[in-house]
Structure formats: structure tokens, C-alpha cells
Amino acid sequence: MTGKTVFEAKYGFARKDVRLETWRLSPFNRWSFQNVGELVPSAHVAAAPGGEEQAKSLGGLLEEKVSLPGGSETVESFLKRSDTDGLTILKAGKLTGDWSAPHMPFGARHIIFSISKSVTAILAGILEGEGIFDPNAPVTQYIPEAKGSAYGDASVRNVLDMTVSLDFEEAYLDPESAFARYRRSTLWNPGGGSESLAAFLMTIQRLGEPHGQTFRYRSPNSDVLGILVERASGKRVSQLLSEKLWQPLGAASEMSVTVDMEGTARTAGGMSMTPRDLARIGEMMRQGGTANGRRVVPEAWVRDTVATGGSFEAWQRGTMAFLFPKGRYRNKWYQTGHDSGAFCGIGIHGQWLYVNPKTEVVIAKMSSQPEPVDDKLDEDIVAFLKALSGMV
């Protein structure tokens, strides 16, 4: 059997069919989401020293039933229905188990899309704790060339909380939109390489509404955040990730982040890592900013991020309040408003990092959903994660 035949037998398509114009489409995303570095230039962050990890089965949990808005189904059935590629569950810091789809080997890295925003915000929190990053400063304090753009009179806090009054739409599927130009600048779409990500970001204009009033989910804010932490620290994002997060976290596998023509990291959505390491980030946040007995990010920052900070009013004015009616958004993390105090990071195509402090459960779910955004499925996933966190 030839290599080509092996690939096609496993994935149902040929490797040559996965290109920049197809890599986010189904069924190609079942492979490309684990191999982004073959398609988009990427910077790599080495793992902490240590041995290889072994998969642990979820056993009988897969056959247990969960109650969802549309009825009950088994855990495994829902994982398959929601196009899950990999899942890891931790309970009180200990591994409950893993689940992988046939096309995702255990230990493979997978793109986490917008959970990258949440990870980048952790870097901002670390730098804030070191006294070299001010969340209340104007953006222009760090990026003077932002003057004249939507960020010219915005604060870093506006950037962190998605309350920049930005004239920009997340038009994922429109090839003629400003969003498509944005993706070309990140080298995620064909035709890139003539405009850098930073140059594009500085062209976005603002709306008439004052900053700070409305939660507007706009990914460019989080790429601006990546530039902000680089300017404040004098270090590249990949270096910050290694020194400030990945090594202290005790991450077991290499991670990566896509970069543009100038090496600027796509901090809004370009990070890839294993489900285990993503779960480690959630556990660090559950532990108030510590990992392996070592403080990674200030406890006060974590508490503000996942429990006390953020504007309920700004969240209610946004378009995602249906998902968490009592929720808030702070430092690129979602507070669910649930009695459990659960919080999460979310990425398109079904990426979730869900933390339930009450049950001490962390769930990392990586997926290759066909649609970037599926509101009905998201509601089912929230119900599923909430139920699952009470079952382990």
C-alpha cells in the first residue's frame, strides 16, 4: 500500500487537496487542524523536559448518558456528533482520561483558534504582575503608530475586554470582506504576503460609539494584544510563551503559533497544542495561577479574569449574551455566570477549554466542526460540558 493510499484511506481525501483555500473546510480540516504548520509559517515553542505521555481511556464514562436540550445521548455519541477530534478531562488536577477520534493520534497538536486569545491574555497578566504592562494605558503608549486608527484613542483595557468600538465584522465566510483581507495579511488565505498583519491592523477605523460600552467580538483586537505584549516586553510572543508560560506550566509537548510575513504572531487564533497541554492551562487557571507549586500569573489577575471583572452591561449589549445570559467577558476569557463559577475559552470550529471550579473539573475539547460558528451546537456543547463536569 502506498503512502498516498494510506493517507486517503485514513482521511478520505488526498494530501494535495489540502491547500490554503481549503484547509478550514470540511472534510480537509480533520487533517489540517492538526498540521497547520504545513500550510502557514509558524513559530515553535519547545516543551518542558520530560518523558512521553500515554493515553488513558475514559472507559465507561463514554457510555453514560447526558441530558441535552434536544434529548439525552451518550457521551461518545455527542463527541462524534460535535466533530470532536480530541478530549482531555482533569479532576482535581488528576487525569480522568482522554478520547481521540480515529483521525487524531494521541499526542497530536491541534489548532485552538480563539482560545489563543485567552492564552495571549495570560502573557499580558504575567507582564502586568511584573510591572511592565499597564492595562489602563492608552494603546498608543506602546504602539504610537496606532494613532489615526480605531485604536488611536482606545485603552489596553478596551482591547483586553473586546470593547473597542471597531468598524469591522467577523465575516468568516465572505471572500470579498475586510475579514478576508485580514486573513490574507496573516498568510491564512491565498494572496497574502503583500500586506503585513500589523499594517492591516492600523488601517481599521472606529465606529461612532465610545469605546468601552459594548462587547464586540473582533479578532483584530487580540492580534493587537500580541503586539502590545511584544512592545512592552521587548520579546517575541514565542519567546514569552516559552519563558513565561510553557516551561513553568510543565507542558509536555511542543506548541506553535502561526506568523505573518514579518514574523508577527497570530495571537488571535494561530496557536496549536495538544489537548493535555490545553487542559494544563485550564488547571493552572483553576488553581488561581499556579502550576507545579510555582506561581505563573498573579492570583489577583486570575480572580479578576474568571470571577469578578468585566462589564455585565457591555456583555448584554453584545451579540453573544444568548450563550451565557448572566455572563461577562474579561481578559479574553468568558465567565459563564453559572452557579458553579465555570469559565472558559472558546474557538471557532468547536474548540473549548471549560473549567468548573465547583466540581474541580477541567475539560479540553478540540474539534473540526464544518461551520466556523454554529450557535445551536454551541448551546448543546455548553450543556454537555456542564453535565460532563458533574459526572466525573
Q: In this predicted model, what pLDDT tens digit does every residue of 102-126 receive, in sequence order? A: 999 999 999 999 999 999 999 999 9
What average pLDDT does range 185-201 have in this prediction? 97
Told to judge if 114 belongs to the known catalytic residues of this protein, a careful annotator would answer: yes
- Give the Cα separation of 186 and 258 in Å (integer): 8
Pick the catalytic residue from 82, 114, 149, 368: 114
Q: What was the pLDDT predicted at 289?
A: 98
Helix residue ranges per DSSP H, the chain: 3-11, 29-32, 75-81, 115-129, 156-160, 178-185, 197-201, 220-233, 237-240, 247-249, 275-286, 299-303, 312-317, 375-389
Please compute, for residue 133, the number of CA atoms within 13 A of its CA located in the half-sphere on the CB side: 26
Report the relative pairing of strands 271-273 and 255-258 from DSSP bridges: antiparallel
Report the relative pairing of strands 94-100 and 84-91 from DSSP bridges: antiparallel
Average pLDDT, the chain: 96
Tell me the whole-structure pTM to 2 decimals.
Answer: 0.97
* pLDDT band at residue 2 using 50, 70 and 90 as cut-offs: low
Q: What was the pLDDT predicted at 171?
A: 82
- Give the Cα separation of 312 and 297 in Å (integer): 24
Residue with more model confidence, 366 or 5: 366
pLDDT, tens digit (0-9, with 9 covering 90-100), for 345-376: 999 999 999 999 999 999 999 999 999 999 99
pLDDT, tens digit (0-9, with 9 covering 90-100), for 310-323: 999 999 999 999 99
- Give the Cα separation of 2 and 194 in Å (integer): 39
Query: Three cell numbers at 82?
Result: 460535535
In the predicted model, is pLDDT for residue 68 greater than 90? yes
Please compute, for residue 382, the number of CA atoms within 13 A of its CA located in the half-sphere on the CB side: 23
Query: Three cell numbers at 77?
Result: 455519541
Q: What was the pLDDT predicted at 3?
A: 54
